[in-house]
Structure 1
Amino acid sequence: MIMTVTSTIGANEIGLLIDGTEIVAMGSLANHQVYTYSVCLTVGAHMAALLDSYGDGWHGGYLTINGVDYGKEFLGGASQTHTFIVLVQVEAENQFLTKAKEVAAEQQGDGSGGAPCIDTVITVTTTIWGNEVGIKIDDAELVVQGTLKNNQEYKFNMCLSAGTHVAKLEDSYGDGWHGSYMSVGGVDYGKEFLSGAVSMITFSASSSCVETTMTVTTTAGGFEMGLKIDDIELVAQGSLANNQVYTFTMCLSIGLHTAALLDSYADGWHGGYLTINGVDYGRDFLTGTVATHQFTVSCVSTTMTVTTKSWGPEIGLTIDGTVIIAEGSLYNFQVYTYTVCLSSGSHEANLLDSYGDGWHGGFLTIGGVDYGKEFLTGTMSTHTFYVGCIDTLMKITTTTWGSEAGLAIDGNELAAQGSLSNYQEYTYTVCLSPGVHEANLLDSYGDGWHHGYLTINGIDYGRDFLTGTSQ
């Protein structure tokens, strides 16, 4: 049976007995905290004795069992007793497990299809009392209590099916993890586990790849060009045309990758090039059949906080469909901090409420921006936020003398002079940080763009660029 004690002021005066057995010793609690306890009780009636050493009650603090609060009216005296009933001899943590497994089963099916598992790295970072730490994943023991040391980082590998999983964070002494935590997929769990013997959380296993956009810009000999990423063919030779820009997206794991630029005629890419994350590769590939380049796919460590008001247990949160906060895991009037590793660009946060009446003024904060303060009704509120740079679509429309036109963004060449044709539209995607940027429209002959123009976010630039070498 899981029970919590929520303290306000005078917490060091609080004590608790269940059926005469001490659960909370007076002098052991701090103000404005939530403490979780796991007690194994038989089916039937039980007695809770709320104690106060000073004789002035619990000052609005209270005991919660099975969603029922006891003691909010305990504002005077040294003790107050309450009777509660255990109807089913199943601990609340097992109910949590059952519900989480139902969710996982819905996501994963019955398993008869033999879906492959995903190699998942689980990192455990200890502070003090590391030997008290234990972890079970879906009832399978991952960390045996007594095996970890203080102030260490441990990495474990588990092959998990895609979807939701349950982690049981255990503490042998019953005083939480002292700031230790478990990390999966860049998300930290357990930092708020500061009291009690057990904390139940859910997390998602996914392939952890990052959607990576890359462009191939051709000049002459486009049909000779080919491209492989990590030996996987992305561009087949013979498939590209001259003087074009092609955009491709691959989901790549975080780390180092290899791009092989191929040419069927063995005379290189004629000034054509590959662009990944704003870096051009292959401009110097002017001879031969292959040029290889290495590039890195990385994510941005993103800190987010959730501030709860009332009804914190109703709150849930997903980022891009990945569960960050399981409904039922938070408490009232707290601030929780999470660190998630996200790719640069736009992401979606779904704020969830199990009761359907919003977050009651609670909110999510990312990058100094608050989301959800207006989420006062309903089961979900969706918000888009940006990490690192933002994929920005821009288009060049040429008229006459397209070959004279060039474009630089923040001093970086985007369209080389001589690479464009007349009466064409060229589309580019550039990942830019939020804020002000500079577009430099160039003309090699000095007579402007002849009513050609650049379009960014629906706004046209350069229609009046009718003379000169730059605007």
Structure 2
Amino acid sequence: MMKLKNLFLGFIIFWINSFCAQCYYQLHMYDSYGDGWNGAFLEVTMNGVHVGDFDCDVSYTLDSVYSFTGATMNFIFHSGNWDSEITFAILSPSGDTLIYGPAPSDLDNLLHTSNSTCPSTVSCLNPFSLNASSLTTNSANLTWTPSASDTIWNLHWDTSHINSHPVNGVGNSINGLHNNNYSLTGLNPYTTYDFYIQAVCGANSNSIWSGPLTFTTLVIPGTCGFYVLELYDSYGDGWNGGYIDVILNGIVIDSNITMLNGSGPESTPIPVDSGDILDIIYYPDQWPEENSYTIYDQSGNIIVNQTNVQPINNGPMSSYGIQACVSCSSPISLFTTGITTSIADLSWVSTGSGGNSWNLEWGISGFSQSSGNLINNLNANAYSLSSLSPGTDYDFYVQEVCGANDFSSWSGPYTFTTNSLTVAGSCGIFQIALLDSYGDGWNGGYVDIEVNYSITQTVSLQTGSGPDYFDIPVDSGDVINIIYTPDNWDDENSYEIYNELGVMVVSEAGSNGNGPADTHGLTACQQAGSGPLNAPCGWFILETYDSLADGWNGSYISIDLNGISSHSLTMYSGSNTQIVPFMVDSNTIIDISYHENGANNQEQNGYKLMDNLGNTVAYELGSVSNGPLNTNGISVCQSTSSTESNSLNEILIYPNPSNNLVNINSKELISKITITNTLGEVVYEKYPEQSFLTIDVSSFSINFYTIKLMYGHQQKVQKLLIHR
């Protein structure tokens, strides 16, 4: 196949060189990586008329461009991605090499007069160098350069659109012009037009049309002139879908203003009358942090300069309430940050009209101006409000002071809401702190906070490095799970959890491209087996079996705690063992009920119940044609001694159950740690001489383990469940 391909390519080159070389330019285009030119291309025009765009699809492409004798050829290279892989050569019809080498950064106009031996198919060449000058709001002076001996021309123009070419029969035409210029009048202000020109070669013979040359008439100034909006892009590839709408006195007068490519500036005039209110609304898309814009007033002074807001990286802010042509302009871009239950930091932007102080009025949302709280002659464009009420909506207004009896109009209201107070649980409030090592927030990542296996909050770090704190109200014995969901730059994210005493009990950080690990089974406020009557006793484990691994076929188990249904579960096909942990309080009565529900093969089903210390308190298997028996009246945690309770209070082991990491926090130095499995085999042993450490149990299989801790002259033994 490769030989045939090469043979065919050689034939094409031979054919071009032998039969067409005197008429065609040859384009030899190469890509060293073999994936084509990735958006780059060569644009070719002949006598100012677009011939085509040419590029390489794979490693090498040979293409050709027809020309006739004396035609002016123009080759323009347009950059793409990975230009460093590109090489090309351009050969003239006579075989001369016009250019050969890597893709240049500045091949703007490679002009060449064709040395083709092929005559033109028309009687004369088309004009070139079309131009529009002396633009006004309703007129333009059009000029062009004759190609040779042509002295008569036909002119066509229309508003710029896809069908403006003369062949489509729309627009305006003037035939038989004897000068290579023409003044168009009666045009519309701030309108884009196309014009085309054609040489008259003789009776019934014309050149091809040259064009379009596109131009835009000037805008009609307002009573005080016009403002100018300039767009910039720091990377140089345009705004990548981002755009601006211009609103004047509440009406959109220009929409979808954008930069298609380049760094800018690209300018848009905005006619204004004295006192007009101008809003500039920015809509981001891709890479908004590269975008910025500047607004100039009627005298050419910069009054707004908006760049990307760090660290949000959501592009420049919109600008609201710009007053046109007034001696003292109103502040713009009112904003609040640092909002808590009682504090808010207010800020605004001056439009540069000469003021150096501001008046501020604020109050409960909806207040009438002059009835709020007034603060005069602030010397900075920011102010921190304090002693606010939690969970309350507020408004604020700002006015610029330009001099004695010279004030701007008020800007506002800007509305914000203070944070609500968190109602503490029966044992207080846990807190989760979110952090980001890079300082740009979690970039879409978030955590779900589960309390007793129900999602109570979904939180994220929107901006900055943090920490941002979120309250978790808890009751004694509540089980807290933190479920992390990644998005972008996950390994920058981390979180910490603090208990009701402010002690950090969990710290998880991302690394190696992965976000922080989840946290499961963190028990609030009290350890299992400690405390007074009806305090949390700990985790009991129900383990269910199916020897055929075909599921329970409709039968199920229900768990009642103190006569109230707590859990209901069954087994599905593909699993022969299932572990279900559940929390119980001291002196709870547990009833385990098996429901046959008309299922088959019930003799294959069974269950085992283990207490908070790992002891088996119930074990039932099915018999011939019958499922396992019920177990009723199990009373839990009645024999916890004060010594055992004190021991539990001295050392914290959490979370338990665990799926990844286990933390051990002791009041005394731990001299030795041993973990054994159900066979008595040592799976972990260490002599830490520390009071706090974290053990990685991610490689442990799902089962019960025994942790034995030596500290001082005492030891502690506790069961640990690995559950995923």
Query: Taking structure 2 as the reference length, what is the TM-score of the superposition?
Result: 0.22
- Higher relative contact order structure (alpha carbons within 8 Å, sequence separation ≥ 6): 1
Rg larger in 1 or in 2?
A: 2
Query: Taking structure 1 as the reference length, what is the TM-score of the superposition?
Result: 0.32
